Amino acid sequence: MIAIPRDESCDINEDLALWKIGQVCSRWRAILWSRPSLWTVIDLDLSRWQDASCARLETQLQCSEQLPLRVTLSWGTKEDSQLVNMLVEQCIRWEKLSINLSEEADDWLLHQVRGRLPLLRELEVSTCPTSPGDGYSYPEQEDYWCDYFEVAPKLQRADVSWDQAPLTIKLPFQQLLQYRGADLQDLKSAYNLTDCALERVTLALPPPAISLPGLRRLSLSNSTYLDFIEAPVLQELYCIGPTLPITSFLQRHPNTLRKLFIRDYGSVRLAPDFGPLLQAASTLAHLGVRFIDWDHARRLYSLLTLPPAAVDMLASITICAQRLKSGVETDFDGLFMHMLESRRRAGILRSVNFSGYLTDKYASRMEGLRGNGVKITLYRKTDNLLYDLTPAHLRLYRC
């Protein structure tokens, strides 16, 4: 059996296996040369490349023949222009582009790709960090504007993030299916979106309502953005912020939401009102909450305990409880387990995800639920639970 790296990990860095496989024997070299698809993933990190890399890049471009390319391009300076130009000349073959922008890159690189991206389906754009003397800084300005990717007839997925200067990317929003970024107002033309994540949106003035008729999955760094969004078929919502905008949204669009995860809901002083929220979420099958206060948890457990319960269809429950105050674990465990067991006896509960501390007594009762067919997943760290629960393209990193 011959082990060959997957396409996703095959790039042209010296420390990766693709280039070393050909050194094993002539048979392995023959396999590499006969499979152009192995050469289509190009990771051009300009901070690591050596003088001989132009020949290496040329070899890979030749070996990939005319297949679509998946390109990762880190920022550089004008001294790297020969290397970058070799890759830019092939931009009509780019199927996926992950690029870290810098001010200098604009002048001599990106203008060459404008209108020459017929195959581009996925775009990831970020800005490089700024630090004194690194040579890769933006001029002091309120916004950074980029329209190089506005013409890309097959573009469907766009991920736009920024570290220092706010980044505005002109995109063909009307054809996008997935978007992650901070541009809420431009979504008014994104009527084909099915998945969207919005972080750190800056609103000078409240925008008019934005209609997203096909949106199925939405992730927000602030639940108040829901006041400006109409998504009548939304099925999954991941958000940070108070519960009132969520309740208002669900009252406007009832009977569609199946999954809700409230990662953070404010402060201890601003108590979440779970009662109206659950009444408005009558179709909810999976609820997740990250608690910051014991009283808030106790209120929700009471609402979910059968009989009666605010949501009868809720089959999956996720609780992040590591931030609760110490000294109340036993009481917390008891109410938590009572709620779960009541739902299991009713034949509703199917799965539980939990991060926090359980005493031995209640841990054994959790195992009892597992023995009765409930899928139990316990996490030591809340961050791991958050990571697993949220789809990769909807995760919020810069909140």
The domain locations on the chain are 7-171, 184-399
Q: What is the mean pLDDT of residues 273-283?
A: 93
DSSP state of 14: T
Q: What is the pLDDT of residue 318?
A: 96
Angle (CA) 385 387 388, round 5°:
65
Contact between 116 and 87 under an 8 Å Cβ cutoff? The reply is no
Burial group, residue 149, by CB count within 10 angstroms (0-12, 13-18, 19+):
buried
CA nearest to 9, candidates 25, 21, 1: 21
pLDDT 10s digits, 103-156: 656 556 778 899 999 999 999 988 765 444 444 444 444 455 678 899 999 999
pLDDT 10s digits, 208-219: 889 999 999 999
Q: What is the pLDDT of residue 293?
A: 81
Per-residue pLDDT band for 263 (boundaries 50, 70, 90) equals confident
Contact between 246 and 260 under an 8 Å Cβ cutoff? The reply is yes
Q: What is the mean pLDDT of residues 347-353?
A: 96
Least confident window among 37-46, 243-252, 341-350: 37-46
Q: What is the pLDDT of residue 199?
A: 87
**DSSP state string for 204-253:** SSPPPPEE-TT--EEEES-GGGGGGEE-TT--EEEEES-SHHHHHHHHHS
Q: What is the mean pLDDT of residues 384-393?
A: 93
Least confident window among 18-22, 98-102, 363-367: 18-22
pLDDT 10s digits, 11-64: 444 435 566 676 678 887 788 888 899 889 998 876 665 544 788 888 889 999
Q: What is the pLDDT of residue 138?
A: 44
Calculate the average pLDDT of the chain.
Answer: 82
Per-residue pLDDT band for 344 (boundaries 50, 70, 90) equals very high
Least confident window among 120-129, 192-201, 233-242, 372-381: 120-129
Per-residue pLDDT band for 83 (boundaries 50, 70, 90) equals confident
Verify cis geometry, omega within 30 degrees of 0, for the bond prior to 254: no
Angle (CA) 46 60 26, round 5°:
130
- Name residues whose C-beta falls within 8 Å of residue 291's C-beta, 6 or more positions apart in sequence: 297, 319, 320, 321, 323, 324
pLDDT surpasses 50 at 7: no
Q: What is the pLDDT of residue 104?
A: 59
CA 299/CA 341 separation, integer angstroms:
17
Q: What is the mean pLDDT of residues 214-240?
A: 96
What's phi and psi for 361, nearest 5 deg?
Answer: -60, -50
Q: What three-state secondary structure class fits 370? A: helix
Q: Which residue has the higher pLDDT, 342 or 268?
A: 342
CA 263/CA 288 separation, integer angstroms:
8
Query: 184-399, which class in CATH?
Result: alpha beta
Q: Which residue has the higher pLDDT, 110 or 167?
A: 110
Least confident window among 50-54, 182-186, 241-245: 50-54
CA nearest to 220, candidates 253, 191, 249, 188: 249
